[in-house]
Amino acid sequence: MASTPPVHERAQEVLVQGLRFTPLLHFQVRFGHPFCAQIDSLRRAPLYVVGGRDCWLQWEQSPPLPLRHGDVVFLPRGGAHRVFSDPDAPPASFEELLTHGPVRRGAAYGLDVEGNDSVWSGSFYWSADLATHPLVASLPPVLALRADEAAPWLPPMTDLVRWMADVHAGGKGVGMTETVGALMQHLVLAWLRGAGQHIPAGVSAVEGLRDPRLMEALEAIHARPEFPWTLDNLAARCHMGRTAFATRFQAQMSMPPMRYLMQWRVHLAARMLREQRLPLQQVADAVGYSTGAILARAYKRILGVAPSLHE
C-alpha cells in the first residue's frame, strides 16, 4: 500500500491548485548570438522557458542568473530585467524587438530576431492580477528551476511549451494557457518543497510557505474560504496559542493571518465575478462574507476599486 504523504505536502498541493490566471499573451522569440533584451515594464510578469544557447537573466540590480536549455524562470511581480547571451551586447527594448515583425496566431506571437541560437518561449501575465493572490504575493520576485536538477517531469513539459508556442511549425499557441498554467503550479510546488530552486543572490524570499507549522492554517484558508475562520480557530489548527500563531504568521508570511484570509477571499471573488458573472451576494456567500456590502468593502480595501468598477 502506498504511503500517505505528510500533511504539509498535501497542504502545499491544495495551495498551488488555486493558481489559475489568464495570460496577457504567449510568445516564442528566437535570438541570434549575441543578444540582449531589456524588459522595463512593471506591468508584465513573464514565465520563461529557456531553449538553446547558455544565457543569463538579470533582475533589477541582482547578480546575473545563469540559465541553460530547459530551465524555467518565473518573475511573479514583473519588474525591470534583461536576458542576454553576451553582457556586452547592446540591449534591445521590448518595443525594438517588435520592429522585427511578429507573427500572430490568436494570443500567441512568434518573433525571429536575427537567428535561432536561443529560443525563449512562455507567457506574460498582468503583474497586478498575480499580486491579488496572497500565495503569489508571498513568493520571491524571481524563481528558477534547473532542468538538470529537477524531477523527470520538467523536460517533457518544457518541450511541450516550446512546441505549443511555435506559431510556424508547432502548436500555434493552442493549449498554451492551460499548459503554462500547469507549469507555473508545478514550479511553485517545487519551490515549496525546496527542489532544485535557484534565487539570485540578494533576492529575499518569504519562508512561511515552507513552514510545516503554518501549513494547517494555510490549507484551511485555501480549501474552505467560506468558513467563518477566526484567529483562534486557525491557531488551534496549528496547535498554537493565538498570540504565538499570529506572531509566527506575521514573521513568516509578512502579513497578518486575517489579512491573508481577506486577500484570498477577494482574489476568489474577483475571479468569480470575472469568469461567472454571478450576483455580488452569491459571490459573498461563496467566499465567506455575510453580505455583498461587506465583500465590497473588503474588495475596495484590497484592490482599490469597487467590484462593479473592477469587473
Contact criterion met (CB below 8 Å) for 219 and 10? yes
- The pLDDT of residue 311 is 43
- The pLDDT of residue 121 is 97
Domain range 208-310, CATH architecture: Orthogonal Bundle (1.10)
Intervals of the chain under pLDDT 50: 1-2, 4, 309-311
Domain boundaries, the chain: 16-198, 208-310
- For cell 506572531, what's the residue? 247
Supply 111's cell numbers: 518573433
Measured in degrees and rounded to the nearest 5, phi and psi for residue 193 equal: -95, 5
Question: How many angstroms separate the CA atoms of 66 and 55, rounded?
Answer: 6
Per the DSSP assignment, residues forming a β-bridge with 50 are 120
Is the model's pTM score more than 0.75? yes
Please state whether the peptide bond connecting residue 141 to the residue before it is cis, i.e. omega within 30 degrees of 0: no
Question: How many angstroms separate the CA atoms of 261 and 45, rounded?
Answer: 24
Pick the CATH number of 16-198 from 1.10.3470, 2.60.120, 1.20.1630, 3.30.310: 2.60.120
CA distances from 233 to 81, 177, 265, 298 (A): 42, 37, 17, 21
